[in-house]
Each structure stands twice: as structure tokens, then as C-alpha cells.
Amino acid sequence: MALVLLLILVITEVGFAAFECTDPEMKKSWTLKRLAVNAGEIIIFLLMLLLPGIDLSFRFKGLVILLLVRILVSVIFWLINRKNEKRKKRAAIVWSAILSILLISGGMLPSFLFADYHGRAVTGEYTPAECEAILIDTDRTESFENDGSYREVPMHFYYPENAADLPEQSLPLVIFSHGAFGYYQSNASTFLELASHGYAVISLDHPYHSFFTKDSNGKTITVDPGFFRSAMKIGGSDDMPESDAYNMTSEWMTLRESDMTAVIDQVKAAGETGAVPDTWHCDGNAADRILSLLNAIDYNKIGLMGHSLGGATAVTVGRRDDISAVIDLDGTMLGEETGVKDGVIQANELPYDKPLLCIDSESHHQSLAETKEAGYVYVNNVILDNAVNGYETYFKGAAHMNFTDLPLFSPPLAKLLGTGEVDAGECIDQVNALVLGFFDSFLKDTGAFSVKESY
């Protein structure tokens, strides 16, 4: 319907321009008609709100603001030209139409980039709730700034709405790390599904690695250009020396692992003391809700998961003694690379003693098999081979972004980053079911976990 709306507005502009060019009127008459056309376009939008796919969400917010501003500008021009007896030039009429069409198209861009997505239905008995805080890590300075400020890690909590009424320390905790240029809501359907089944989930942002986030002053922090260029360089180069790639990725992993470690340590400490630290930035009554949640968490049952670089982060931090289970969503375990010798990556060969589930895309799974057959050292193979309780499965027809909500939220952006032929909704629902089943088995002790070779 967004395309229909755009076509109607464009036809309105073209029709008005064509009609006015046949016999140009005086400016005072033209500006009054221009005002009427702009008002008519607002009416068209309001009428189309009755149709599916058109709403007042952020997808159409820019268009609404634009249409209202154009009416205001038209009123001003009418007041200025209401006594102007000069004729409107045809060239000015044409350029006015072209500018209007460009502005309308720009205002509607979000409606084409983002889908009318309202999440996936949850299957648990609890109603999910959300709140957030920003952890200010006074043990680290922000390496992406030169002002000596501390590193900040936004934490987004998902949990059963009535967590305060549940038995004390009854909720297992799952902590999630997003991928490169990701966002804390990249797997919101997963978090909400877990929360509906009685889990507390913390999805953390990695500032300057995430697409965007906000700091404690409300400033928007976008992805660091240097990190973006490095990631693109590694991802698009087959001839980069392994030592150069290892040095880059080691820096990324150190930052991310430190973020996740700080979250684990401070959340556990807050749970033990029964107080939200002063170094956490919370808005409104978020501190009270977080405190109620902290009291309901079982800190002996902590699971980690992540997508892509976030999966790599979860795997390495998952070696901690206080972690019970780990899930890697299509991530190369870069944190388990220990160095480069004679141009060959070296991998950590210590046994991985935590239950580990790797859910991969079809191409990633094929790479695992091909490198193993060729005798090439690929870190994921080494870790899975040395895992005491390791599982690997893959989704046929799935690509990297199919393990997030992005293909449902923004199909064009997801396709740009990599989606497969699999049905996006069915894929993420099955992924969420596997995630829930795995954590139920190892964080809630519900019984043995099993997974098929592929889905």
C-alpha cells in the first residue's frame, strides 16, 4: 500500500503541474491552489490510514511531518503573494512539482526500507516486559573517544511482567551480544519468547560496533567508521595476511568480551547486594523494576548467546566457571583464535567444557565440512571437536541474517547483508524453538537436548 500511496501523491503533483502549465495563473491564485493541493495530500494520507499497511508509525512519520510543513510553507507563501499580480512561470511550476515529488519520495523512504512488522507470537505463559539501563564501567576508558570518558554498555532487559511475584531466584539469565553493525533488538523475537517462558534476558549494545545506540547523556552513538572499514576489508578480501586479520579481530574481541564480562560481573554483584549500582544510568522507575528483576534471577543458571561477532563473544566468555550454556548463531569463533604461526591461524585446543550449540547457515556449514576435509585449521571445527557437549546444526536455504529479525523488520537491508531463500518467519521461529529447548535443557534441567543435522 505504501507504493499505492506514493503513486497517488506523485500523480497529484504531476496533474497539478500539468493543469497549471496549460495556462499559468497569477502568483496569488497559484499559491492558494498550491495550499489546497497540499491540504488534499494530507486528506489522502488520512483516508489511506483506513487501509492495511498505512499507519502513523515511524515508517510514515517523516511523510506526515513533511506534509504538515508544506502546508505551513504554503500558507506563508500565500500571505506573501496574495496581492501579487505577476504570472507564475511554467519553469517554476515544473520545478515545484519535481521538488515536491523528491521530498515526498524521501519522506516515504522508511516505508519501503522497513516492513509493517509487529514481532512474532510468543508461546509461553508469561507476558514479556522490558526496561533498560546503561552500565558505566569505571574500570575502562572509552577507546573510541579522547576525552577520558568511561566505557558505557547499554543493557536492555526482557523478563516476565510479574517477575516480582515469582519465587525468589527462579529465573535463569541469558545474555545476548549482537553482531557487527547490529543492534540490541536484532533478535527481539528470541528475547520475548524466552521471557514468556520464564527467563530474564539482557541484550547488550557494543557502542561503536553497533549500528547506533545512545549514551547516558542521550547522545546517539553510531558505528565507528574505522571499525566499519576494517570489517568490510576483512569480509571482502581473500588475500589479506592472516596476521593482519588476526590483529584486527583480536582488538574487536577484546572490546566485546570486556563488555560482556562487565555486564556479568556487575549484574551478579547487584543481585548479591540487592541494589542497583550508582554507576548504572536508569531513567524513571527503571531502577525499581530492574531491582525486582535482579532479585528473581538465579545466578547459578547463566546462559550466553550471540549472533555473528556476538556469537564469537559468547563462546569465549562462556569459558567462565559461572556460565552454564552457550549458543553461537552463525558466528566464527574469533575469540578462540590464539595467534598465527607460519601464516596459519592457531586455535585454542583446550576442551570446551560447557554445553555449546552452533546454529549455522548452509554456506557456513559447508565451510566447516570443506575445511575439515582439506585439513585446514578452522577455529569452529577445533572448538566443536574439543567440546565435551557440543552440537552443530544448519538451516537449508538460510543465510547470515536469517538468524535475526532483520529480514522481517527490513527485507531490503537484510537482503543487502545476506538472506537466503528460506521463509524468514518460519526460520526465526524454528531458531527460537531450538534456543528455548537448549536453554530449557541446560538452564532448567528439563531433560536431554537433541537437534537434527539440518532444518
The pLDDT tens digits of the residues spanning 313-339 come to: 999 999 999 999 999 999 999 999 999
187 falls in which pLDDT band (50, 70, 90)? very high
Give the closest residue to 30 by CA, choosing from 21, 39, 40: 21
Give the whole-angstrom CA distance, residue 248 versus residue 236: 14
Q: Choose among 8, 106, 126, 112: nearest CA to 65.
A: 106
Reference 152, options 283, 285, 255; nearest CA is 255
pLDDT band at 237 (very low <50, low <70, confident <90, very high): low
The yes-or-no verdict on residue 56 having pLDDT over 80 is yes
Cell 576435509 belongs to residue: 373
Task: Calculate mean pLDDT across residues 413-432.
Answer: 93
Q: Is residue 75 packed enough to be buried (19+ CB in 10 Å), middle (13-18) or exposed (0-12)?
A: middle
The pLDDT mean for the chain works out to: 92
Residue 79 has pLDDT above 70, yes or no: yes
Question: How confident is the model at residue 231, as a pLDDT?
Answer: 87
Question: CA of 163: how far to CAs of 159, 187, 197, 445, in Å?
Answer: 7, 21, 12, 20
Q: Provide the pLDDT confidence category of residue 65 given band limits of 50, 70 and 90.
A: very high
Q: Calculate mean pLDDT across residues 194-223.
A: 95
Q: Which single residue is written with the C-alpha cell 572490546? A: 255
Alpha-carbon distance of 420 to 396, in angstroms, equals 9
Share of the chain above pLDDT 70, in %: 99
Tens-place pLDDT, residues 110-126? 888 888 888 899 999 99
All 3 cell numbers of residue 391?
552440537
φ, ψ of residue 200 to 5 degrees: the values are -100, 130
Rounded Cα distance between 384 and 2, Å, is 47
Name the band, by pLDDT with cuts 50, 70 and 90, for residue 405: very high
* Tens digit of each residue's pLDDT (9 = 90 or more) over 10-41: 999 999 888 888 877 778 888 888 899 999 99
pLDDT in tens, 157-186: 999 998 778 877 889 999 999 999 999 999
Report the pLDDT value the prediction gives residue 236, as an integer from 0 to 100: 62
Residue 238 has a pLDDT of 65
Q: How do strand 280-281 and strand 220-222 relate by DSSP bridges?
A: unpaired
Answer whether 294's CB lies under 8 Å from 270's CB.
Answer: yes
